[in-house]
């Protein structure tokens, strides 16, 4: 059963990964994710349904447009493959529980927000607000379905706590820290605290460690200057991704247990 669930989630993730590509590209530009249909950015030819199969179409076309031969970025199949693999891993880890649904939502949303932050150094409200609302509804329903309604209360409290912490940091940083990250913290905090308070603590700690290391590396290598914006959203997401499956083991190791 778990093998079938994992495989199905992986295939579903490939499809979602294709949509994530559309969302992360179009929404920061203020464009609709529904129309017009996907097209080659070079010649404008619409992508045929048979050429829009995740990963496989890109490989068969050898990374080029069928009509004009222009190169198609490898980012598209990479995002699809990563999303598919992440969905499969999430299904394998969580198993047959209602809570799997909101955590698959969590994975898709965080990948999209990571891409937009890396590309534009901002986290669009058009993605974050509805994603947070839908995620909360899905998590509430799953908590009731799995018999863990009290965990959802903790999740909301955890989201509020993470939001408050990042808000204080943003105020102290005097403009050096984006409010998009503060709002993202609520979304991440909900899914972290649903697991446990310890998971939230590890997620926060991991996010700041990763963010600091990456920022320091970018400054040392002069990829970024001291006044250049550095996306912190990916570090927040990475911290959550590390904490959700590994927090308990990390805490046990740290506490010597």
Say yes or no: 156 and 253 in one domain: yes
Of the three residues 96, 124, 140, the one that is the final residue of a domain is 96
Q: Write down the pLDDT at residue 145.
A: 97
Q: Is the dihedral of CA 42, 44, 50, 52 positive or negative?
A: positive
Q: Write down the pLDDT at residue 140.
A: 98
Say yes or no: 89 and 102 in one domain: no
Q: Report the number of distinct structural domains present in the chain.
A: 2
Say yes or no: 130 and 85 in one domain: no
Say yes or no: 109 and 84 in one domain: no
Q: Write down the pLDDT at residue 175.
A: 67
Q: What is the pLDDT of residues 170-180, one digit of tens each?
A: 898 876 678 99
Residue 163: domain span: 97-257
Say yes or no: 118 and 159 in one domain: yes
Q: What is the pLDDT of residues 202-245, one digit of tens each?
A: 999 999 999 989 888 888 887 777 777 778 999 999 999 999 99
Of the three residues 96, 120, 152, the one that is the final residue of a domain is 96
Say yes or no: 130 and 201 in one domain: yes
For the chain, which ranges sit under pLDDT 70? Answer: 175-176, 257
Say yes or no: 57 and 105 in one domain: no
- Tell me the pTM: 0.93
Of the three residues 96, 125, 140, the one that is the final residue of a domain is 96
Phi, psi of 46 (to 5 degrees): -65, 140
Q: Write down the pLDDT at residue 256.
A: 73
CA angle 81, 27, 155 (to 5 degrees): 70
């Amino acid at each position: 059963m778990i093998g079938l669930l994992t495989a199905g989630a992986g295939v579903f993730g490939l499809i979602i990964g294709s949509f994530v590509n559309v969302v992360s590209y179009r929404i920061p530009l203020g464009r609709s994710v529904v129309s017009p249909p996907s097209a080659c950015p070079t010649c404008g030819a619409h992508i045929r349904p048979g050429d829009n199969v995740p990963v496989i179409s890109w490989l068969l076309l050898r990374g080029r447009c069928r009509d004009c031969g222009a190169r198609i970025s490898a980012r598209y199949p990479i995002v699809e493959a990563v999303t598919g693999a992440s969905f499969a891993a999430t299904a394998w880890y969580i198993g047959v529980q209602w809570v799997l649904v909101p955590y698959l939502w969590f994975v898709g949303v965080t990948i999209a927000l990571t891409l937009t932050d890396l590309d534009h150094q901002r986290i669009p409200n058009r993605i974050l607000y509805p994603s947070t609302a839908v995620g909360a509804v899905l998590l509430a329903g799953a908590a009731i379905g799995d018999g863990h309604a009290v965990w959802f209360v903790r999740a909301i409290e955890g989201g509020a706590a993470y939001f408050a912490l990042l808000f204080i940091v943003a105020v102290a940083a005097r403009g050096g820290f984006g409010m998009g990250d503060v709002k993202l913290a609520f979304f991440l905090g909900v899914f972290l605290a649903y697991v446990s308070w310890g998971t939230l603590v590890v997620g926060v700690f991991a996010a700041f460690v990763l963010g600091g290391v990456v920022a320091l590396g970018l400054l040392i290598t002069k990829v970024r200057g001291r006044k250049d914006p550095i996306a912190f959203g990916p570090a927040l997401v990475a911290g959550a991704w590390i904490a959700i499956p590994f927090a308990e083991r990390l805490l046990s190791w740290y506490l010597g247990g």
